[in-house]
Structure 1
Amino acid sequence: MPLPLLALAVAAFGIGTTEFVIMGLLPDVARDLSVSIPAAGMLVSAYALGVTIGAPIVAIAVANMPRKKALMSLIGIFILGNLLCAIAPGYAVLMAARIVTAFCHGAFFGIGSVVAAGLVAPNRRAQAIALMFTGLTLANVLGVPLGTALGQAVGWRATFWAVTGIGVLAAVALALCLPSKIDMQKASLVREFTLLKNAQVLMVLGTSVLASASLFSTFTYITPILEDVTGFTPHAVTMVLLLFGLGLTVGSTLGGKLADWRPVHSLMSFLLAIVAILSIFAVTMRSEIPAMITIFLWGMLAFAIVPPLQMLIVDRASSAPNLASTLNQGAFNLGNATGAWLGGMAIGAGAPLASLPWVGVATAAGAVALTWWSVSLDRRLPVAG
């Protein structure tokens, strides 16, 4: 892995860890700050909302800043936000700190994706993006379980101190490894927002929302599914989730390789495979070994779609790739929240846990339809700049 991409991956690892590790620490945070579990759960929702709303605001704020300086500034916000989390005296300050941290998330991945793609030959751009996102997948495989274990052992604040340290390490790596001059386009607010009139760009953003919603409509409730439907013990669930994380890592690499070949066709193939694998999981979830195999394949497909989607958004918004790429990160997070809400609505309406994969099938099928529509527009409309 080239050193600049490694530096971006280290930063992605820290950002991914801080986003998801809070889920494993909710009981500890709630107990320490004397709030309810649902109130602590709002720390997760607030982060996702911070990414969705903050991403375009921050991207526009740094639009004309040199790329290295922009990325260094964003990792600085990340370090500050996690430091505030570690020392937060109460719930309100912790909530504010989570939102501050979230503001750097979308813009960093958005700008970082464009920078990563520009550091390599044109036929390796998707692989470069996938290498950066390897940090995010490893955050789920290693960062979240290790951070959860650390927080449970010595207190949840220790986890945020550790993530702050990862942020400092990432800042040093970015300072040393990124080129001082990175090619960029001068941006104008009018031109940046013009991309929102581009039907092809909106199609990709919509696909990102639906694909992410497909994942989180079921994955949000994967622990009760594995315990109550499949029959795994809590300890075994942890191992199954590790298997899912390994699938994410494999999928990110696979998606990068195939997206460099034919991004639209690979995206469509992955989405159709997600529809199939979730349909299969609705059956295999009742048996341990088949469920484990299906979950690994599901994880692989879930992240295989990320590189082609990032490639498409950059290609279809060539006049404002940083804003478009950043908006795509907001779209993923909007999908996270939407999927969790859809799954919760289904359960609240009386649907059994075993039916949740069909919610994922429906939203993934929507992503397939939107991608097909985008392909048909592609044949009739010029790629907009």
Structure 2
Amino acid sequence: MTGSEKHTGALRTTDVAASPAVASDGLPGVRVRPAMLALALGGFSIGTTEFATMGLLPQIATDLQVSIPVAGHVITAYALGVVVGAPLLTATAARIDRRVLLIGLMVAFTLGNVLSAFAPSVGWLMAARFVAGLPHGAFFGVGAVMGTAVVGPSRRGRAVATMMAGLTIANVVGVPLSTVVGQNVSWRAAFVLVGLLGLTTLAALWRWVPGLAAHPETTVRSELRSLRSPPLWIAFAATSIGFGGMFAVYSYVAPLITDVTGLSAATVPIVLALFGVGMTVGTLIGGRLADRSVLGTVYLGFASTAVVLVLVAVTGRQPVGALTAIVLLGVTSQILGLALQTRLMDLTPAAPSLGAALSHSALNVGNAAGAFVGGLVIARGLGYLAPAWVGAGLTGLGLVIFALASRRPVSRPSFSISHPAPATPQPEGPLERAAVSAAGSRTASE
């Protein structure tokens, strides 16, 4: 990163519910693991439903009697739900306790997946997937701020990575399992399974996540005011376009593996699991890299993802080459996605929940656009490798746009947690509040 980022802006969005023994950099260690586990479980559930659809497209298309490109519109519908729901739900729920909001979002998520399981037509399935996608971005956005409060601001990159780890592990376990269920039982049963995951997450959030109350002065207007930043929307566009490259390929990974690479349908769950392993590795690497340099990690993610997409196009007909490229795509895309979320949080210092949610809107604009563009080139008879070339171009374009936007200095949130000293020892019971307030302005360069 060249130049310096001026760290200004006051974060006034949350109060943390904690005991008087809360450490200065976050909540007590005894509560960190279960709270983060609950958030990661939410990421696991959401990741399973988001990516399982890619592996179930052939079964959905056959059952609902439509073509695979038409069935791909189901993926687009979910992504559009994320795009609409992330900023809308996060902003309108600005005054609601973060724990209560997370629970409400998971209720909506569970309902959307149950409705998906019983959809009688592709139109109804698209509507149900739209509903299931609405809470996606808001959950990750609010959860990212909750995670930062739990582990402490100095480890915010790893807090985001922990939530994203749930999503990546979903691609190792949840998505392949859903694909196996879809192939051997029914794609509808796979969505019922996701609904059960949602209920499990609800129980974990209720039991382990502490209260995180909105600041009294936080309003819908104050949240939306953060959207006036031109660099934010340029970064949003770069994210949407650049990340669309990965989804142009991954949305049609099942027919790519069977029709081009020549592997059997039974290997599709294994390929999806390998992609998930790559995503998990990318999360572990990306969280640490983002804590060192957000911009540097974004550039690395863009460039490496473009290169890997070209590798998919070149080696897609060879089993070893195709599988290697898919694993690497999981690694590079996750490094990119995690760093982009952190960057958008930096661009909304007064409303980090909204910034994190917007990152998922941007990623899912890319999801919708990538699936749509990939379907177009396939429908034109160009084959299942053509989306990889288109995807490489989209990712390169996203890199160029992001590079232009990052030249301008921006503010980013500087977290600190303060704790009122109780006059007398408090009995064991509900968690008391502490406050998350802005630290003084400081200047740093990466």
What's the TM-score, normalizing by structure 1?
Answer: 0.89
Indicate whether 1:220 and 2:251 are aligned: yes
* CA–CA distance in structure 2, aligned partners of residues 356 and 316 of structure 1: 31
Indicate whether 1:284 and 2:330 are aligned: no
**Cα distance change on mapping 1:2 and 1:82 into 2, 3 Å:** same
**Cα distance change on mapping 1:25 and 1:384 into 2, 3 Å:** closer
1:80 Cα deviation after fit: 2.4
Q: Is the 8 A contact 2:113 2:191 kept in 1?
A: yes
Give the corresponding residue for 2:157.
126
Q: Larger Rg: 1 or 2?
A: 2
**Cα distance change on mapping 1:271 and 1:162 into 2, 3 Å:** same
* CA–CA distance in structure 1, aligned partners of residues 283 and 326 of structure 2: 15
RMSD over aligned Cα atoms? 2.6
* CA–CA distance in structure 2, aligned partners of residues 31 and 218 of structure 1: 21
Percentage of matched positions with identical amino acids: 36
1:372 is matched by which residue type in structure 2?
A
* CA–CA distance in structure 1, aligned partners of residues 74 and 386 of structure 2: 27
**1:383 alignment partner, one of 388, 400, 411:** 411
Q: 1:8-64 deviations in whole A, cap 9, x for unaligned?
A: 1111111222233234445555666x5534665443322222111222221122111
* CA–CA distance in structure 2, aligned partners of residues 233 and 173 of structure 1: 38
**Cα distance change on mapping 1:186 and 1:15 into 2, 3 Å:** farther
Count of residues in correspondence between the two structures: 381
**1:342 alignment partner, one of 373, 384, 404:** 373
* CA–CA distance in structure 2, aligned partners of residues 350 and 156 of structure 1: 27
DSSP 3-state at the match of 1:2? helix
Give the corresponding residue for 1:305.
336
* CA–CA distance in structure 1, aligned partners of residues 290 and 402 of structure 2: 15
1:126 Cα deviation after fit: 0.8
Indicate whether 1:331 and 2:359 are aligned: no
1:364 Cα deviation after fit: 1.3
Give the corresponding residue for 1:169.
200
Give the corresponding residue for 1:71.
102
Indicate whether 1:363 and 2:394 are aligned: yes
Give the corresponding residue for 1:80.
111
Q: Is the 8 A contact 1:273 1:301 kept in 2?
A: yes
Give the corresponding residue for 2:277.
246
**1:36 alignment partner, one of 47, 56, 66:** 66
1:82 Cα deviation after fit: 2.7
1:114-153 aligned within 5 A: 114-153=145-184
**Cα distance change on mapping 1:377 and 1:155 into 2, 3 Å:** same
1:221 is matched by which residue type in structure 2?
Y
Q: Is the 8 A contact 2:81 2:133 kept in 1?
A: yes
Structure whose residues are more often strand by fraction: 2
Structure 1: segments with no counterpart, 5+ residues: none
**Cα distance change on mapping 1:82 and 1:347 into 2, 3 Å:** closer
DSSP 3-state at the match of 1:162? helix
**Cα distance change on mapping 1:7 and 1:25 into 2, 3 Å:** same
Q: Is the 8 A contact 1:66 1:184 kept in 2?
A: no
Give the corresponding residue for 2:435.
none
2:249 is matched by which residue type in structure 1?
T
What's the TM-score, normalizing by structure 2?
Answer: 0.78
Structure whose residues are more often helix by fraction: 1
Structure 2: segments with no counterpart, 5+ residues: 1-31, 414-446
Q: Is the 8 A contact 1:247 1:300 kept in 2?
A: yes
